[in-house]
Amino acid sequence: MKQSTSPVAEIIAVGDEMTSGQRIDTNSAWLARQLNDLGIEVAYHSTVGDDLQRQTEIIRAAMQRANIVLMTGGLGPTKDDLTRQAIADAAGVELEIDEAALVHIESIFARFKREMSPANRRQAEFPRGGKTIHNEEGTAPGVDFSSGNSRVFAMPGVPYEMKLMWESYIEPEVRDRCASAKTIRHHVLRSFGVGESQAESMMPDLMARDRQPRVGITASMSIISFRITAMADTEDECKTQIDSTVAYIRETLGEVVFGENEDLLSAVTADLLLTHDLSVSMADFQFGSAAASLLREGFPDSQRRTLRHASSIDGQTPQQWLADESLLDVAAVELAATRIREQHGTRIGVAIGKLISDEGDSSSGKFPVAISIEGEAKPIMETFRYGGHSSMRMTRSANQVVNFIRLTLLRRRQRTQLATE
């Protein structure tokens, strides 16, 4: 096995229900977080079905490349529960009955006055040289097996049994084995307004794989997340790494960054509105109530009346108002923003105009948005692109509107601060 200055781990999920997609593997995600909290890097995730040869190959490879191997599933009494045999085959040893484990299994059936099937004896078979891990909640004991520099822990696939076994036995063992493990900490910056490739071109060295801390980028509905992973000897060193990287990203991207970790764009925008005591009304002539619904999710339940979705303007339905005013015209959208603000008595009015389609393509184009703010001489206008895959157009457009409100409030605050200096 390749030696490393810091221990690495592999997590293996076992079962046809995992490889077929019939069940989502939540166990592996939970275990990865536990290992990270112990300062152990998870280098590999594997999923393998109920096939002895394939399981043996996966386990043998894991023993060669990982110090800690955590397995879930395949410890039951049926013929497709192959984890114990696969560990034995990977290590080149035989299975043997553990008498203490067999007594424990028999006692469980006796407690519930049920006859034990001969198949349940399989759950007392363990790779020679291994140890059993007591299962307080079920009939399937876990396996603790060492091979060279690798230590394999096999747990039941039932989540509560797996977690109890981890907390009562495996975590202390792993902590003791990996006492020299480094501290690992994670931090996320979230942004809207630049794409993945654009962000990488602006910060070309940020995603280098030999960089510390490591930074990865993920995208969802045009929201870009920068995942920062620091690994160091101490908590303070991790914090220093993360703080310097956060400062660099914020300095480079500026107001494009809207939040950290679990922050939502809608919640950050709603918080700005509440902080400055700004009520808002919205009229959407293109997407129904998509943008208003998204922004409303950002408010605490008790504060959602701060946002009002306008169903009429000047006493007319949107359709009637559209007949009188051309909402393809910038002036008309600006007028709509001012009218709904005055009509609803809010301090901000937002109007989203009709889509101006690209020639010959009704699925793409641009749409205008105007924001009218109480006390401002003229509404603020912006035009946004509409397009992309049909599954994300609406959400992306709603995000664009909410982000426009956020940026407008930030810039207004900056102007106010400059005026008072």
Per-residue model confidence (pLDDT) at position 145: 97
pLDDT, greater one: 99 or 419: 99
Q: What's the pLDDT band for 189 if we cut at 50, 70, 90?
A: very high
Q: What is the pLDDT of residue 360?
A: 67
Give the pLDDT score at 420. Answer: 60
Report the predicted TM-score, pTM, of the whole model to 2 decimal places.
Answer: 0.73
pLDDT, residue 2, reads: 40
Percent of the chain at pLDDT > 90 equals 56
Give the long-range contacts of residues 336-342, CB within 8 A, separation 24 or more. Answer: 336/283, 336/285, 336/370, 337/283, 337/370, 337/371, 337/372, 337/379, 338/372, 338/379, 339/313, 339/314, 340/281, 340/282, 340/283, 340/310, 340/313, 341/281, 341/372, 341/374
pLDDT tens for 231-267 read: 888 999 999 999 999 999 999 999 999 999 999 999 9
Mean pLDDT of the chain: 88
For 334-388, how does the pLDDT look when each residue is reduced to its tens digit (9 = 90+)?
988 999 999 999 999 999 988 878 776 767 788 899 999 998 889 999 999 887 7
State the average pLDDT over residues 299-317.
Answer: 79
Tell how far CA 307 is from the center of its chain.
Answer: 28
**Range scoring the smallest mean pLDDT among 12-26, 117-131, 154-168, 316-330:** 316-330
- Burial annotation 345-368 (CB, 10 A radius, 16+ → b, else e): ebbbbbbbbbbeeeeeeeeebebb
Distance, CA of 242 to CA of 246 (rounded, Å)? 6
Q: Are 45 and 26 in contact (CB under 8 A)?
A: no
Q: What mean pLDDT do residues 205-220 have?
A: 85
Helices (H), ranges, 360-392: none
Q: In sequence order, what are the beta bridge partners of 289? A: none
DSSP summary character for residue 263: -
pLDDT, tens digit (0-9, with 9 covering 90-100), for 138-149: 778 999 999 999
CA pair distance 121, 118, nearest whole angstrom: 6
Residues 190-212: what's their mean pLDDT? 88
Confidence grade of residue 3 (pLDDT, cut at 50, 70, 90): very low
Total number of residues shown for the chain? 421
Domains of the chain: 8-177 (3.40.980.10), 183-260 (3.30.70.2860), 265-420 (3.90.950.20)
H/E element, 69: strand 68-72
Q: 18-72: per-residue pLDDT in tens? A: 999 999 999 999 999 999 888 899 999 999 999 999 999 999 999 999 999 999 9
Query: Taking Cα atoms as reference points, which of 291, 323, 326, 297 lies closest to residue 309?
Result: 291
Gap between the Cα atoms of 184 and 7, Å rounded: 12
pLDDT at residue 410 above 60? Answer: yes
- Predicted confidence at residue 251, as pLDDT, reads 96
Categorize the per-residue pLDDT at 4 as very low, low, confident or very high, splitting at 50, 70 and 90. very low
C-alpha span between 86 and 147 (Å, rounded): 13
- Measured distance CA(268)–CA(298) in Å, rounded: 7
pLDDT, position 5: 56
* Tokens linked to 260: 């950290």
